[in-house]
Amino acid sequence: MRKNILVCDDEEGIRESLKLILEKDYDVTFAANGDEAIEVVKTKPIDAIIIDIKMPRIDGIETMRKLKKIKPNLKILVTSGYKSVETAQEAVNAGASNYIVKPFARTEILDAVGKLTG
């Protein structure tokens, strides 16, 4: 049975890249911001999320906190263009299972998502 992955990123190019990487092995749903991600998790069975930290309105950290209240066991992979120990620690504290810095390699994403959903 294919796992359902939600990709939440405000950059369309990143969403498209992740679609190309993941669509062969996973059912992929997309959200352009935190509010959309929250609505998707409320209405669809999602096994894991790939979420960006820096987004307008509601950032990835706050979105993760809200998602964990809705679905506490949700697996979350954080992506960020900023390599910061503080940001990575904040993401883990908010419930992230893993943290990857952009730009990422195809194999890096597939390995990380495989660990989350395996």
Domain around 20:
4-81+113-117
Interval 86-99 mean pLDDT: 91
On whether residue 34 sits in a domain, the answer given is yes
Residue 85 pLDDT greater than 90, yes or no? no
Interval 102-114 mean pLDDT: 95
Interval 30-52 mean pLDDT: 97
Q: Are 6 and 29 in contact (CB under 8 A)?
A: yes
Q: Are 64 and 31 in contact (CB under 8 A)?
A: no
On whether residue 90 sits in a domain, the answer given is no
Q: Number of folded domains in the chain?
A: 1
Q: What is the CATH classification number for the domain harbouring 18?
A: 3.40.50.2300
On whether residue 95 sits in a domain, the answer given is no
On whether residue 22 sits in a domain, the answer given is yes
On whether residue 99 sits in a domain, the answer given is no
What is the gyration radius of the CA atoms in the chain, in angstroms? 13
Residue 75 pLDDT greater than 90, yes or no? yes
Helix (H, G, I), strand (E, B) or coil at 88: helix
On whether residue 106 sits in a domain, the answer given is no
CB atoms within 10 A of CB 91: 24
On whether residue 57 sits in a domain, the answer given is yes
On whether residue 92 sits in a domain, the answer given is no
Helix/strand/coil percent split, the chain, to 5: 45, 20, 35
